[in-house]
Amino acid sequence: MPKYLLLKHYRGAPTAVNDVPMDRWTPEEIDAHMRFMDDFGKRMEASGEYVDAQALAPDGAWVRADDAGTAPVTDGPFAETKDLIAGWYVIDVDGWDRAVELATELSMAPGKDGRPIHEWLEVRPFYGSPTSTGD
Amino acid sequence: MVWFDEATLRPLVPQVIGVLVRRGADFAAAEDAVQEALVDAWRTFGDGDGAGHAPRDLKAWLVTAAWRRFLDVVRAESARSRREVAVDAEPEQGLTEAVDDTLHVFFLCAHPALSPTSAVALTLRAVGGLTTRQVAEAYLVPEATMAQRISRAKRTLSTAALDRPGDLATVRRVLYLVFNEGYTGDVDLAAEAIRLTRQLATLADDPETSGLLALMLLHHARRPARTEDDGTLVPLAEQDRSHWDTDLIAEGVAVLQAALAKEQRGELQLQAAIAALHADARTAGETDWRQIVAWYDELLALTGSPVVRLNRAVALGEADGARAGLAALAEVDPGLPRHRAASAYLHEKDGDLATAARLYAEAAGLATNVAERTHLVRQAARSNQGLSG
């Protein structure tokens, strides 16, 4: 079965419809969001489509070797303009349509005022996985 | 006959490795031979007619099986290199020797030449008697990766100076690392760390090792109340104390009292004493913060640790009010992890919700795990809600 990456961003994705920072939600709205995310993960496990999920901290740095290749050169923390990944799901599904369906579901996670966030998710096929149904 | 299961088998692993090492096997070969013998034991007693039952002296059986496995390897190698080896079995050991042998295996696995990750992996296999697969699952890495890590650790030991192995302090550090990993897979690492620390405390008769055991027991006792079913953190003050494990608390307190009676106080005993005072309070309001501050004073005098200074400031905020806590916090390095969260908490307690909300949100950005981040964002949200409503 083909694998896809559903990528969440801290920054760099197009702005969500219901875009309010989480500390401006009510505690109950945060709880509802967390429950949704928990359920989403469990549903994917139950359907046999879950492979991996990881969350990344927002800090870190660019690193390369210096010209002699002996010492690290670092550039960080990341500038505010950087496209910043927050985490991902890896899913193993029937095809592109199902990957899009799951991303849509995830995008509907509840946010401020209990309304869906309509967050943008980046859906990326692993090599060997189609980006359309091929019809 | 004795019941044959993991709980009977695993405590024997470091003892049997210790016997083989005393008989002249090098550690890496002894460790391999014992793993093989464990497989033999499962095959012989784990199913079939003798299911669930093992010989009365299971340890002697394992020593014989492991020694045979070891000799097979030695003979195969000596045949290849055309060398003759003379291997003689030694007489049965006395009790003191058995204790020394087992301690020696603890010390080897915490050898200062090993990186913390390697020491942890090797300890769980050679002292804990876990399989490579179990250790790999517990740390969420592929089994092949964990197998490499363990064999590299054993190679390091074979070239390291074995006359200077680890000591109780290095073993305690390794066990504390295992404890703090908690439980992610099938193996409950916190429970496993407690089992091994209990074993070490029995072998060593050392107040700081008892202090570590008490600290682990007292923390573990609160685990059922520390998170909700979905993983949400519940702060100490809001935990349902009826979910605390009173048996573990009683054991922790008893172990701690016996350790403190020896009058050789150390960092771990003092931390356990603070944990015991929390465990002793039937409600958060009954916590003896004044006594907790006194223990922190002693801990600070002993260690000079900035983290202790930070925790002391929060305790002082409970004992003498938020302003006193904030004044003490002003003396603490603001770059410390959790400084911002502590500051947010004390400002909230002082009634300054705007500052608290801002600091909680900043602290959330600095959190080192998802549960902590969610908790801090929720605290920020709660403070903002208090401001607007």
Asked whether the beta carbons of B40 and B128 are under 8 A apart, the reply is no
What is the per-residue pLDDT for B52?
67
Residue showing tokens 């020696």: B104
pLDDT bin (cut points 50, 70, 90) of residue B42 is confident
For B253-288, what is each residue's pLDDT tens digit? 999 999 999 999 999 999 999 999 999 999 999 999
Nearest C-alpha neighbor of A91 from the set A40, A20, A36, A57: A40
Q: Do B381 and A31 touch (CB under 8 A)?
A: no
Does 3.30.70.1060 match the CATH number of domain A3-56+82-125?
yes
- Is the pLDDT at B87 greater than 90? The verdict is no
For residue A39, the chain B residue with the least C-alpha distance is: B230
User: Which of B140, B227, B378 to probe the A interface (max A CBs under 10 A)?
Assistant: B378
Angle between helix B322-329 and helix B306-320 axes, rounded to 10 deg: 160
- Is the pLDDT at B51 greater than 60? The verdict is no
Q: Does A84 touch chain B (CB under 8 A)?
A: no
Q: At B380, list the tokens.
A: 């920020």
Topology (CATH level 3) of domain B95-189:
Arc Repressor Mutant, subunit A (1.10.10)
ipTM of this complex prediction, to 2 decimal places: 0.88
User: Which of B230, B362, B366, B383 to probe the A interface (max A CBs under 10 A)?
Assistant: B230
What is the per-residue pLDDT for B1?
54
Nearest C-alpha neighbor of A124 from the set A98, A90, A83: A90
For residue A42, the chain B residue with the least C-alpha distance is: B230
Q: What's the Cα-to-Cα distance from A30 to each of A13, A55, A60, rounded to whole Å?
A: 21, 17, 26
Buried b (16+ CB within 10 A) or exposed e, A35-67: ebbeebeeebeeeebbeebeeeeeeeeeeeeee
Nearest to B361 among A23, A29, A38 (CB): A23
Contacting A with CB below 8 Å, chain B residues are 230-232, 357, 360-361, 364-368, 370, 374, 377-378, 380-382, 384-385
Q: How far is B364 from chain A, CA to nearest CA, in Å?
A: 9
Domain parsing of chain B, residue ranges: 1-93, 95-189, 345-389
Question: Which chain A positions have a beta carbon within 8 Å of B366's beta carbon?
Answer: 59
Q: Do B378 and A57 touch (CB under 8 A)?
A: no
What is the per-residue pLDDT for B378?
95
Q: What's the Cα-to-Cα distance from A55 to each of A35, A52, B86, B335, rounded to whole Å?
A: 16, 10, 57, 24
Q: Which amino acid does the sequence have at B318?
A: E
Question: Which chain B positions have a beta carbon within 8 Å of A26's beta carbon?
Answer: 381, 385
Asked whether the beta carbons of B31 and B84 are under 8 A apart, the reply is no
pLDDT bin (cut points 50, 70, 90) of residue B91 is low
For residue B372, the chain A residue with the least C-alpha distance is: A57
Nearest to B381 among A26, A35, A38 (CB): A26
Read off φ and ψ for residue A88, nearest 5 degrees.
Answer: -155, 160
Nearest to B381 among A23, A35, A57 (CB): A23
Q: Does A86 touch chain B (CB under 8 A)?
A: no
pLDDT above 70 covers what percent of chain B?
Answer: 91
Residues shown for chain A: 135
Measured between alpha carbons, how far is A125 from A104 in angstroms, rounded to an integer? 16
Asked whether the beta carbons of B245 and B384 are under 8 A apart, the reply is no
Q: Do B378 and A55 touch (CB under 8 A)?
A: no
For A101-126, what is each residue's pLDDT tens digit? 999 999 999 999 999 999 999 999 99
Asked whether the beta carbons of B214 and B253 are under 8 A apart, the reply is yes
What is the per-residue pLDDT for B43?
85
Asked whether the beta carbons of B357 and B387 are under 8 A apart, the reply is yes
- Is the pLDDT at B44 greater than 90? The verdict is no
Beta sheet of A122-125, edge-to-edge order:
A50-55, A84-92, A3-11, A122-125
For B138-190, what is each residue's pLDDT tens digit? 888 999 999 999 999 999 988 876 667 778 999 999 999 999 887 666 678 99
pLDDT above 90 covers what percent of chain B?
Answer: 70
Q: Do A23 and B384 touch (CB under 8 A)?
A: yes
Tell me the residue ranges of DSSP E strands in chain B: 2-3, 53-54
For residue B233, the chain A residue with the least C-alpha distance is: A31
Domain parsing of chain A, residue ranges: 3-56+82-125
More confident residue, B50 or B305: B305
More confident residue, B208 or B6: B208
Q: Taking the model in full, what pTM does it have?
A: 0.88
